[in-house]
Structure 1
Amino acid sequence: MCLKMVELYDTTLRDGTQREGISYSTEDKLRITKKLDKLGIDYIEGGWPGSNPKDIEYFQQVQKLSLTNATVAAFGSTRRPGIEAKEDSNLEEIITSGVEIATIVGKSWDFHVIEALETELEENLAMIEETISYLKSNGLQVFYDAEHFFDAYKSNTEYAIETIQAADRAGADRIILCDTNGGTLPLELREIIEKVKDKVDTSLGIHAHNDSEVAVANSLLAVKSGVVQVQGTINGYGERCGNANLSSIIPNLKLKQGIDSVTEEQLKRLTGVSRFVSEVANLTPPTHKPYVGDSAFAHKGGIHVSALMKDPETYEHLAPETVGNRRKVLVSELSGKSNLMYKAEEYGIEIDKENGDLKQALEKIKELEHQGYQFEGAKASFEILMKKATNSYEKLFELEGCRIITEKASGLTPLSEATIKVKVNGQIVHTAAEGEGPVNALDNALRKALLEFYPALEEIYLIDYKVRVLDGNDGTSAKVRVLIESGNGHESWGTVGASTNIIEASWQALVDSIEYGIKLSQDKE
């Protein structure tokens, strides 16, 4: 049994998968298990062995992993009404799964016992006690999840306490108080825990859901009230509004409450684990989540950045590197000279703020943002703009002209063809290419024209292409912003274009993307 002041119990692989749109393969779950182990998680709830073949396979395969920090737990429910625990097939699946710990959920709320289980209140107490006793007699440690405990306490205090006392008598190793509907507010939750903790001898834990946006706060207050185990998921993934977010709870425990639930080195893995879980779940990593979000340490206002350059503590509550994240300084119409100086230093661009370069670059950025450009997601376009402002940028080619034709015949898929003429190293190259749409045709034609001169283009590919209408009131003549993300297998970069003509906006972003990618390759040679 873990001897930490506060144990971390992760249920990303079980409760987290109840979020709409998430479905992990067995291999996915094993990969996440290894990441959680390195993060310093104490217990990993792998799934419900009796519920589906995938979870059965996971428990077979996870025994082959050499975990250094975590112990894997299997989830299940109390025995069914009217049968003995040894007759319940789900409990047998847990026993034969090879785990050391079983986490068992049972009913605390009389309303649920009568309406959902359709059994007697006394029978539910017997189900809790007999299930835990049976698993303990088979050599397992047992964590008891008291489902809907806080709602149960408010509805029928006496019976709610009787349910956890039944778990206590049976020898449960932990009793987890669950705010299953996520409707309990922090002060109310703390008051209930204070009244309940002396009713049982077993140490308590907390399992909070986020339907009232207070799951993290509830978990931290529960720790203040003496619970020894906190359950949650990475990024707060879970059913409805999600579970308590361990990506916030872990650093709050260590950095704000002084509880060493993980080491400093493990804490530095936090952002990486958060984003890894997102990628495996095929979800966009959470941009604005505290601690781990890509924008968690992003600064935009010029006054903020000016102060930040003198001392980061002026606008940051901790160093982003502490949790494996990084600082970002954004540029926009809100930017000041400090933003540009910071970004110039970041990109290794020498800029003299005394000779007018800085003022010229700042005015150009604000002018372009007014036209619809946005550089926050377009690092490459911004870097090119900065180099142009300091006369340190050399164009790789010049457009002489292009023509795009899209043909649409009845019943047939539209076909686009782009003819392009560019000047490269003093030579005129005239070529054409087809594509799935005008932008794709233009991209193909440009690559065809440049490939002979810049073979690195073979490695550059499109990751994402977004078009945003900036003012819908203008209808089909509205100005649009095009954001392109490209990569070369090693790194990625964003570029931007804006125009009332979607082809022109795409061309601007496309040219920046290709030039930036080629120069990356040249710089490494």
Structure 2
Amino acid sequence: MTTSISIFDTTLRDGTQGEGISLTAEDKVKIALKLDALGVHYIEGGNPGSNSKDIEFFRRARELNLQAKLTAFGSTRRKNSNCEQDVNLKNLVEAGAQAATLVGKTWDFHVHTALQTTLEENLAMIYESIAYVKRHGMEAVFDSEHFFDGYKANPDYALAALAKAKEAGADWIVLCDTNGGTLPSEIHEIVSRVSGIIQAPIGIHTHNDCELAVANTLAAVTAGARQIQGTINGYGERCGNANLCSILPTLQLKMGYRAITDEQLKSLTTVARYVGEIANVVLPVNQPYVGTAAFAHKGGIHVSAILKDSKTYEHISPELVGNKQRVLVSELAGQSNILSKAQEMGLTVSTDNAKSRDVIEKIKDLEHQGYQFEGADASLELLLRDAYGDSIDVFTVESFKILVEKTHSGIQTEAIVKLSVGGQQVYTVAEGNGPVNALDSALRKALMQFYPGINDIHLSDYKVRVLDEKDTTAAKVRVLIESTDFKDTWSTVGVSSNVIEASWEALIDSIRYALLGMAQSDYEPEAPRESLGLVNH
């Protein structure tokens, strides 16, 4: 029989304690809905007694009809007081959540140093606080803060704290590696001991200060823990929390446990990237399972092998977690990489096609000049389509000019662009808050009369990297532009010793790629297709 694991997501609480992460109440609502669809069992929304933003979230969350249990976070009552007079506990039980997480001290050092109270009073605080939320009909989750450090320092007291929580009616006893310094072997040994002593459902909450949060969580599960606390993408204070995006697929695909359905697991990559967008944090490309490079292949030998059988260099099928296989083309590419990318685009290419060898040599030459196509798939696709005669000519650039003027009110930038669209000359002028923005505006203005869909495209990221720092202001630069139409995202690259020219090159590729997608879709341009020169050649 498959063992079920309960997933406790604390992205909206512990995750927001990560540096640079701030979520509005609206952000939290959006993420909560995604987490609920993913199938997590508990969604910890925050501390309803700490700020108005969390109060608003709990008010709105009550109307969401979540399948997951909405959970409010708080701590045990203050020392030398009672629960009925504790404002934080009162706010917690009035939040309208089905469950409450109460954090309490289990390390005698913290009791004396942080709380500055007696060991006996701390045990009373734990018992009375849990009993209080239970009297109000809430499920009680006891987060035993610093448990592993406490157990190593004074096991009798750490276990006494857990016993008090159980005696008061705690539904879950969660062991926390709050400082993130415990090793997997220690986690497994201690959780095994606790499971044999405390006859209550055990959970695990780990931090990533030694890059071991995922490993520690999995070790705890094998030792008997049945609730996992973590965050999407591992967001959290200091080095972060246990990353549910790594834990979930490992549990289900490699360890035989069951937490969510297979269909829900297929949405994992989408959820990870969605939460990253809302939190305004760029996901590491090499993040396991859900990163864009998690199933990316670059070496020619690797690509040749995966074309025969993907198991040669992939530990799971990427589709199981909603990701996809990618073949990178670079100076290390072999013919297999080119063939794979061409096939991905629907191009028919023979294995002995001389063009493949030419393209490889061209890519190697371009990368020697400073181009990098691993992070610029759109530019690569355009290059391959040009090489194999499947490109689409929508417009031709005749010239552009930039005027920069310093006035008493600031710097004003104006771009003048002259294009040929289907044999028709178009001349436009636009202002911007810089040269690239002005060029982008002028180019859109010229094309919008033919392709109104251009209005839905915007630049989402712009990066400039100096390639030859020793050349100072005359150095060659590489510009990477990321664009989106709110449905898809694509990246393009340009290289030049002139940052404007490099930006323009990447910008032109971005627009060409967008128009390529429009031409291949059901989108109808304002002018006839023939008049725009939209023909394959």
TM range (shorter): over 0.9
Following superposition, the deviation at residue 394 of structure 1 comes to 4.4
Contact residue 435 and residue 500 of structure 2 kept, 8 A? yes
The correspondence of residues 156-167 of structure 1 with structure 2, limited to 5 A, is 156-167=154-165
In structure 1, distance between residues paired with 2:454 and 2:4: 55
The correspondence of residues 412-491 of structure 1 with structure 2, limited to 5 A, is 412-429=409-426, 432-452=429-449, 454-491=451-488
Following superposition, the deviation at residue 420 of structure 1 comes to 4.3
| Equivalent of residue 128 in structure 1, options 126, 129, 154 | 126
Q: Structure 2 counterpart of 1:295, which letter?
A: A
CA distance 1:117–1:323, shift in 2 (3 Å): same
The corresponding residue for 1:263 is: 261
Q: Secondary structure at the match of 1:97?
A: coil
The corresponding residue for 1:155 is: 153
Contact residue 468 and residue 482 of structure 1 kept, 8 A? yes
Query: Are residue 511 (structure 1) and residue 508 (structure 2) matched?
Result: yes
Query: Are residue 382 (structure 1) and residue 380 (structure 2) matched?
Result: yes
| Equivalent of residue 137 in structure 1, options 131, 135, 139 | 135
CA distance 1:205–1:477, shift in 2 (3 Å): same
Q: Secondary structure at the match of 1:414?
A: strand
Contact residue 235 and residue 286 of structure 1 kept, 8 A? no
Q: How many residues of Structure 1 are paired with residues of Structure 2 in the alignment?
A: 521
In structure 1, distance between residues paired with 2:90 and 2:424: 76
Contact residue 430 and residue 449 of structure 1 kept, 8 A? yes
The correspondence of residues 316-335 of structure 1 with structure 2, limited to 5 A, is 316-335=314-333
Deviations 1:356-385 (A, max 9, x none): 111111111111011011112222211121
Following superposition, the deviation at residue 450 of structure 1 comes to 4.5
The correspondence of residues 44-443 of structure 1 with structure 2, limited to 5 A, is 44-68=43-67, 70-409=68-407, 411-429=408-426, 432-443=429-440
Q: Structure 1 counterpart of 2:253, which letter?
A: L
Mean Cα deviation higher: 265-274 or 414-423: 414-423
CA distance 1:75–1:457, shift in 2 (3 Å): closer
Q: Structure 1 counterpart of 2:472, which letter?
A: G
Contact residue 165 and residue 199 of structure 1 kept, 8 A? no
The corresponding residue for 1:41 is: 40
Deviations 1:194-233 (A, max 9, x none): 2222222222111101111101100000010011111111
Mean Cα deviation higher: 468-477 or 485-494: 485-494
Following superposition, the deviation at residue 33 of structure 1 comes to 1.7
CA distance 1:261–1:492, shift in 2 (3 Å): closer
In structure 2, distance between residues paired with 1:499 and 1:350: 33
In structure 1, distance between residues paired with 2:202 and 2:129: 19
Q: Structure 1 counterpart of 2:265, which letter?
A: L
CA distance 1:456–1:31, shift in 2 (3 Å): closer
Q: Secondary structure at the match of 2:280?
A: coil
Following superposition, the deviation at residue 406 of structure 1 comes to 2.6
Following superposition, the deviation at residue 440 of structure 1 comes to 3.3
Contact residue 353 and residue 359 of structure 1 kept, 8 A? no
Q: Secondary structure at the match of 2:203?
A: strand
- What TM-score comes out, normalization by structure 1 length? 0.94
Unaligned runs of 5+ in 2: 525-537
CA RMSD of aligned residues (A): 2.1
Contact residue 466 and residue 483 of structure 1 kept, 8 A? yes
Following superposition, the deviation at residue 259 of structure 1 comes to 0.4
Contact residue 392 and residue 516 of structure 2 kept, 8 A? no
Following superposition, the deviation at residue 253 of structure 1 comes to 0.8
Mean Cα deviation higher: 393-402 or 352-361: 393-402
Q: Secondary structure at the match of 2:352?
A: coil
Mean Cα deviation higher: 439-448 or 329-338: 439-448
Following superposition, the deviation at residue 95 of structure 1 comes to 2.2
Mean Cα deviation higher: 252-261 or 381-390: 381-390
CA distance 1:63–1:451, shift in 2 (3 Å): closer
Q: Structure 2 counterpart of 1:140, which letter?
A: M
Query: Are residue 499 (structure 1) and residue 496 (structure 2) matched?
Result: yes
Q: Structure 2 counterpart of 1:327, which letter?
A: Q
In structure 1, distance between residues paired with 2:35 and 2:431: 47
In structure 1, distance between residues paired with 2:454 and 2:73: 51
In structure 2, distance between residues paired with 1:59 and 1:452: 47
Contact residue 397 and residue 424 of structure 1 kept, 8 A? yes
Q: Secondary structure at the match of 2:196?
A: coil
Q: Structure 1 counterpart of 2:231, which letter?
A: T
Q: Which runs of 4+ in 1 moved over 6 A?
A: none
- What percent of counterpart residues are identical? 56
CA distance 1:159–1:337, shift in 2 (3 Å): same
